[in-house]
Amino acid sequence: MTTVGLRGIEVVHAGRRVLRDVHLDVASGEVVALLGASGSGKTSLLRVVAGFVQPSAGRVLVGGRDVTHLPTRDRDLGMVAQGAPLQPTRDVGGNLTLPLDLLGEDDRAQRRRRAEVEARAFGLWGLLRRRPRQLSTGQRAAAATARAVVRPRSALLLDEPAVHLDPVTRAEVLAQVRTVQRGHGTTMLLATNELGVAHALADRVGVLAHGTLAAVGTLAELRAAPGSLDVADLVGGAPLARLPGRVLPGSGGGRARVRTAAGDVPTWSPALRDHRGPVLLGVGPHDVTLGDPGPDRLAGTVRHVGTTGPERVVTVATHAGPVTVNVRDTAPSHGEAVGLLVHHALVATDHGTVLAVVDRPSAH
């Protein structure tokens, strides 16, 4: 087991700054997920660690050793790239022994035994004689990951480990990866745009947005204090509605209010009492209750009702902007006037930096 450290990593490609001043420490045996939308820089950062991309500035440390200018083969890292291909001319067993073959391991029986251990761990026992074309997508993903860990490495890098897998297969592959990681105590850094993958595998999450590492912490920590609306979008599982408004300070130590074009939201936060200037009210689909129009509720009209799993997804048009609400009970009808009772929200600057968490007054 070993550590991975990033110190001020920057990457400039074709005149565009892809990564900017990224600092990160992955402890020995820890799993850290780089979570971000497409184009956020997470795969580029993983490739910097692997040695496929040379940073414009900064250092990469593996086990405390500066490997920034070392070739990939000398970094002692395993990597499973997105859609990592298997050797089509080798069966599963041959693919699993390939890293040991390349290493020059002389004991053929030992190589085979090592491959069989990982084949059992990844649910590939009984498939060792099959060629890649005879495997399902999930089996190929499992085999590619097993191949990466069959030779002990300082750390393992995974790029989108569950991409293109159906939900059932994805859950199986992620469970296998986590079980093997715990068994080996492998340090792991992975890139994903799926919150479920980060939740299943990671001890901590690093959120990448616009080429910078916006936040690092456990999912629980980041949900409680996201720091920005971009971070909240990613760790909350759904984009927040962003309603422009301004803060009305409370008099005599009373509650401040966030005034929007759709109505006021009461709050009680010392961070807002002295704030001046425009704000954004970030509201998630599970942070609002639909009801009748009334005081301390945002006013809106139902524009669309859809279904996702056990929930109904209701889009409400307000004078401040659209708000999405997830409900499990009976949904209102199209065109119906409703009141939105906000019981949790984020108040941010117009640049998205979170100033305070707004909770419904009755929660205090």
* Lowest mean per-residue pLDDT among 23-37, 258-272, 349-363: 349-363
pLDDT digits (tens, 9 = 90+) for 127-182: 999 999 999 888 888 898 888 888 878 899 999 888 878 888 888 888 888 888 88
Give the residue-averaged pLDDT of 104-129. 84
**Predicted pLDDT of residue 59:** 97
Domain end call among 178, 202, 226: 226
Task: Give the Cβ contact number of residue 55 at 10 Å.
Answer: 23
Q: In this structure, are residues 234 and 265 in contact, taking their beta carbons and an 8 Å threshold?
A: no
**Predicted pLDDT of residue 361:** 56
Half-sphere exposure of 321 (CA within 13 A, CB side): 12
Give the residue-averaged pLDDT of 326-336. 88
- Tell me whether residue 279 is in a domain: yes
Same-domain pairing of 213 and 244: no
Residue 364 pLDDT more than 50?
no
Using CA atoms, how far residue 108 sits from 41, 93, 102, 295, in Å, is 41, 12, 12, 76
Q: In this structure, are residues 159 and 43 in contact, taking their beta carbons and an 8 Å threshold?
A: yes
DSSP-derived pairing of the beta strands 155-159 and 187-192: parallel
How many structural domains compose the chain? Answer: 2
Residue 6 CA to residue 10 CA, distance in Å, equals: 10
Instruction: DSSP for 138-165, please give it.
Output: HHHHHHHHHHHHSS--SEEEEESTTTT-
Nearest to 189 by CA among 219, 220, 157, 160: 157
- Tell me whether residue 231 is in a domain: no
Residue 120 pLDDT more than 70?
yes
In the three-class reduction of DSSP (H, G, I as helix; E, B as strand; rest coil), residue 253 is classed as helix
Amino acid at site 254: G
Give the residue-averaged pLDDT of 19-37. 96
Q: What is the four-CA torsion angle of 326, 332, 336, 340, rounded to 10 degrees?
A: -40
**Predicted pLDDT of residue 252:** 53
CATH classification at residue 259: 2.40.50.140
User: Residue 88 contacts by C-beta under 8 Å, 6 or more apart in sequence?
Assistant: 131, 132, 133
Q: Residue 86 has which token pair?
A: 């298997």
Work out the percent of the chain whose per-residue pLDDT is above 70: 96
- The residue behind tokens 């920034």 is 68
Give the residue-averaged pLDDT of 297-313. 90
Same-domain pairing of 76 and 196: yes
Nearest to 96 by CA among 119, 120, 126, 122: 119
DSSP-derived pairing of the beta strands 241-248 and 278-283: antiparallel
User: Residue 43 contacts by C-beta under 8 Å, 6 or more apart in sequence?
Assistant: 82, 159, 160, 191
Same-domain pairing of 179 and 281: no
**Where do runs of H (alpha helix) occur along 150-218?**
167-184, 195-201
**Predicted pLDDT of residue 6:** 97
Which range has highest mean pLDDT (55-69, 114-128, 297-311)? 55-69
What is the enclosing helix (H) or strand (E) of 34?
Answer: strand 31-35
Amino acid at site 320: A
Same-domain pairing of 94 and 221: yes
Same-domain pairing of 255 and 206: no
Domain end call among 201, 226, 251: 226
Same-domain pairing of 46 and 182: yes
CATH classification at residue 109: 3.40.50.300
Q: Cα 127–129–134 angle (5° rounding)? A: 65
- Tell me whether residue 80 is in a domain: yes
- The residue behind tokens 């041959």 is 94
Give the residue-averaged pLDDT of 259-283. 87
The side-by-side arrangement of strands in the sheet containing 288-291 is: 288-291, 337-342, 298-308, 311-318, 323-327
Residue 288 CA to residue 297 CA, distance in Å, equals: 10
Range of the domain at 117: 4-226
Same-domain pairing of 140 and 278: no
* Lowest mean per-residue pLDDT among 100-109, 190-199, 235-244, 342-351: 100-109
In the three-class reduction of DSSP (H, G, I as helix; E, B as strand; rest coil), residue 224 is classed as helix
Same-domain pairing of 194 and 85: yes
Give the residue-averaged pLDDT of 213-232. 94
Give the residue-averaged pLDDT of 307-333. 90
- Tell me whether residue 233 is in a domain: no
The model's confidence at residue 51, banded by pLDDT at 50, 70 and 90, is very high
* Lowest mean per-residue pLDDT among 188-192, 208-212, 272-276, 329-333: 272-276
- Tell me whether residue 232 is in a domain: no
Q: What is the mean pLDDT of the chain?
A: 89
Give the residue-averaged pLDDT of 92-114. 82
The model's confidence at residue 266, banded by pLDDT at 50, 70 and 90, is confident
Same-domain pairing of 258 and 178: no
**Predicted pLDDT of residue 50:** 94
Nearest to 318 by CA among 340, 296, 333: 340
